Amino acid sequence: MRRVEIYDTTLRDGCQGEEVDLTVEAKLAIAERLDQFGVRWIEGGWPGSNPRDAAFFGPAMKLGLKSAQVVAFGSTRRANVRAEDDENLAMILRAGTPAACIVGKTWDLHVRTALRISREENLDLIRDSIRFLRKNLDTVIFDAEHFFDGWRADPEFSLECLRAASDGGATLLCLCDTRGGSLPGDVAAGVAAARSAVPTPLGIHCHNDGEMAVANSIAAVQAGCLQVQGTINGLGERCGNANLVSIVPNLQLKLGYECVSSEQLRNLAELAHFVDELANREPAKQQPYVGQSAFAHKAGLHASAVQRHSETYEHIDPALVGNHQRVLVSDQAGRSNLLYKAKELGVDLAELEPKVAEVLEELKRLEHRGFQFEGADASFELLLQKAIKGEKLKHFELVGFRVINEKRNEEDPGVAEATIMVKGPDGTPEHTASLGNGPVNALDNALRKALAKFYPAIENVRLVDYKVRVLDDKHGTEGLVRVLVESSDHVDHWTTVGVSPNVLEASWQALVDSIDYKLYKDEKARRGRTAPVAPRASTG
C-alpha cells in the first residue's frame, strides 16, 4: 500500500476564500484537529503577509503536535536581492517552523509580465532561494505556480524551473494548477513529464475553478505524486481549493492508498463540521462523504432497499467516515421510510403499525400544503403521536395573542410587544406580555413567560435558529411561507415547522410544536423510557 502525504493549507490558502475569516485561536484549534486526524503537514500562513499569520507561528510551535509539522509559506527572493538579504525569506526562518514552502513562477507569461525579468534570472532566484533555506531547514517544498499552464505553453521552460528547484535542494516539488482550469488528462501528462525531468518527489496542488480539483488531485497521485495539498471542505480563493474531505476517502477507500489510519478516517465528518463551525459557515448538506444528505434516502424504493442491504444505494459504509445513514420522510416516502424513521426516533412500532397508512396520507397532504418534515424531526414525531393517540398532544389552550411592532422614526430600530392569554392544563388562564427585538422574538418570549407557571422546565428552552422561506415567490409578500425553528434545552436540539401565508401564524405553529415536543420528551423520560434525541438537522 503506497503512502500519500496529506498537506493541509486550510489555514493559509483556505483563508483566502470569500467570507472565510479565522482568528489566531481558531487556527490553532484547527491545527490540533488536523494533527489528530493524521495530516502530515499543516501550512500555517505567510509570516510576512499579515499580523494574524505572523502571530500564529509562536503559539503553534508550542502545541505539541504528534503527527503533523507546521509549515511557513512564502515566495522566492526578489529579483536583484541576494537570498541572504531578502526580508521575505528571513521572515520564513523567524517563524521557527521545521519546514517551509515557497512559491515560484514556472509559466513564462508570469516571468515576463509579473516579475519582468529574464528566464535565466527566474531560474537563479528559484535555485538561490531554496539553497538558502536548505542551509537552515531540513524540509523545503517548492510550489511550482501555474505549472500546468506553463507546461502547456512552453514545456521546456517549466521543466527547467523544476530542475532549478531540484538543483537548489528542494525536498519536494509541488505542481500547481493555480488557475484551476486543467483536466485530469492534462494533469496526468504534466506529472509524467515532471517525473521524467527531475528525481525529486512530486506533490499536487489544485484549485477548483473547473470543478475538477478533486479529480485532478487523484489523477496526479495515480501518475506518481506522493503528496496532495488541499483544504478542509474545499475552502479557498475563487471557487476554492481541492477538497481533502473528498480526496482522502477516495484515495484510501477506493484506490487503496494510505493517507491516515482507519480510526482517524472515522473522524472525517467531525473534522469537516468543526472547521465549518469555526469558519462560521453552514455545512453543505450535499457534501460527499460527510454531508447530512450524503447517505440520506428519500424515495420509498430506496429506503426499503437500503434497510435490507445498504450497498444497494450506498457506495461505502458511512461509519467509515464518521457519518450515518438517514431515511427521510416526505411526500415521496413509503411505508419503509416511515417505520425506519419512527424506530430511529424511539416510537413504539407496535402502536404505530395500524396507523401507518393514515400517517402516510396525512404526511402527503401536509407536504402538499408546504410543510416539510425532512429537517423537522420534532414536528414529525408529534405527528406520529397524534396518529397513535387519536388526537394532537395539547399542553395548553390558546385564548388569543396580539403582536404590536412599532417604529417611531427613521433612526429608531423599532420595538415589538406581544400580549398573550393561554389556559393551562387545569384550565387556569394566564395573561402576560413581553418585549422582543422583533415580533417573533416577542411572541416566543410571551409564550414561554405565560407557560412557565405551569411548566417550569420550559425556562431552559431557547430558540437557537429561525429561518423563513417563501414558498410561492410569484405572490411576493402575499406568498405562502415556511418557518423552521430550531430549539435547545442545553441537552438536545430539535427542529419544528410551520406553514401559513402569515409569517406570524407560521412562526406560532413552529413555536407551539417546539414547546409541545419539549414537554412530551420530558414526560417520556419521567415514564422511565429513554427520551428520543432528535438528530440535529440543518434548518436551511
Phi, psi torsion values for 142, nearest 5 degrees: -105, 120
Task: Return the sign of the alpha-carbon dihedral for residues 340, 345, 346, 351.
Answer: negative
How far is the C-alpha of 64 from the C-alpha of 69, rounded, in Å? 10
- Tell me, what's the pLDDT at 312? 64
Using a pLDDT cut of 90, give the percent of the chain over it: 59
Using alpha carbons, select from 327, 425, 345 the residue that is nearest to residue 384. Answer: 345
- Report, as an integer, the average pLDDT of 55-64: 94
Confidence at residue 331, expressed as pLDDT on a 0 to 100 scale: 47
- SS3 per residue for 459-518: HHCEEEEEEEEECCHHHHHHCCEEEEEEEECCCCEEEEEEEECCHHHHHHHHHHHHHHHH
| Contact (CB, 8 A) for 93 and 133 | yes
DSSP one-letter code for 390: S
Q: What is the 3-state secondary structure (H, E, C) of 505-516?
A: HHHHHHHHHHHH
Does residue 499 surpass a pLDDT of 80? yes
> pLDDT tens, 306-354?
555 556 667 898 889 998 776 665 545 556 667 777 777 777 777 777 8
What burial letters (b/e) apply to 211-233, b meaning 16+ CB within 10 Å?
A: ebbbbbbbbbbebebebbbbbbb
Tally of CB atoms within 10 A around 389:
11
How open is the CA angle 158-164-168, to the nearest 5 degrees?
150
- Report CA torsion sign: 303, 305, 308, 313: negative
As a 3-state breakdown, the chain gives helix, strand, coil percent values, each rounded to 5, of 45, 20, 35
pLDDT surpasses 80 at 532: no
> What is the rounded CA–CA span in Å between residue 500 and residue 68?
53
Return the H-helix or E-strand segment holding 77. Answer: none
Dihedral class, residue 533 (left if φ above 0, else alpha if ψ from -120 to 50, else beta): beta
Beta pairing partners, 228: 6, 204
The whole-number pLDDT of residue 522 equals 87
Pick the more confident residue, 325 or 507. 507
Q: Which residue type, as a one-letter code, is found at position 520? A: Y
> Tell me, what's the pLDDT at 325?
73
Mean pLDDT, to the nearest integer, of 446-475?
Answer: 84
pLDDT-wise least confident of 1-15, 123-137, 521-535: 521-535
DSSP 207: B
Radius of gyration of the chain (CA): 29
Contact (CB, 8 A) for 188 and 223 = yes
Higher-scoring residue by pLDDT: 380, 320: 320
Mean pLDDT over residues 432-443, rounded?
91
In whole angstroms, give the CA distance from residue 387 to residue 373. Answer: 16
Residue 290 has pLDDT above 70, yes or no: yes
Most confident of 192-201, 316-325, 529-538: 192-201
**173: helix, strand or coil:** strand
| Cell 513562477 found at | 105
Long-range contacts from 111-115, C-beta under 8 angstroms, 24+ separation: 115/79
Looking up cell 398573550, which residue turns up? Answer: 420
Task: Mark residue 280 as left, alpha or beta (left: phi above 0; alpha: psi -120 to 50; beta: remaining).
Answer: left
Who's near 272: CB < 8 A, 6+ residues apart? Answer: 232, 233, 245, 283, 287, 290
pLDDT in tens, 228-270: 999 999 999 999 999 999 999 999 999 999 999 999 999 999 8
Q: What are phi and psi of 77, to 5 degrees?
A: -60, 160
Q: Nearest 5°: phi and psi at 235?
A: -60, 150
Predicted local confidence at residue 530, as pLDDT: 47
Give the residue, 489 or 104, on which the prediction is more confident.
104
Q: How many CB atoms lie within 10 A of CB 38?
A: 19
Q: Report CA dihedral (456, 458, 459, 463) to the nearest 10 degrees.
A: -170
Contact 91, 101 (CB under 8 A): no
CA dist 330 → 362, 366, 480 (Å): 11, 9, 19
Alpha carbon distance 523, 35 (integer Å): 43
Cα separation of 92 and 84, whole Å? 12
On average, the pLDDT of the chain sits at: 87
Render 47-64 in DSSP notation, one character per residue.
Answer: TTT-HHHHHHHHHHTTS-
Domains of the chain are 12-21+71-257 (3.20.20.70), 296-389 (no CATH), 397-526 (3.30.160.270)
- 234 is written with which cell numbers? 474545499
Alpha helices in 309-389 (DSSP H): 335-344, 349-352, 356-368, 377-389
pLDDT of the residue at 311: 61
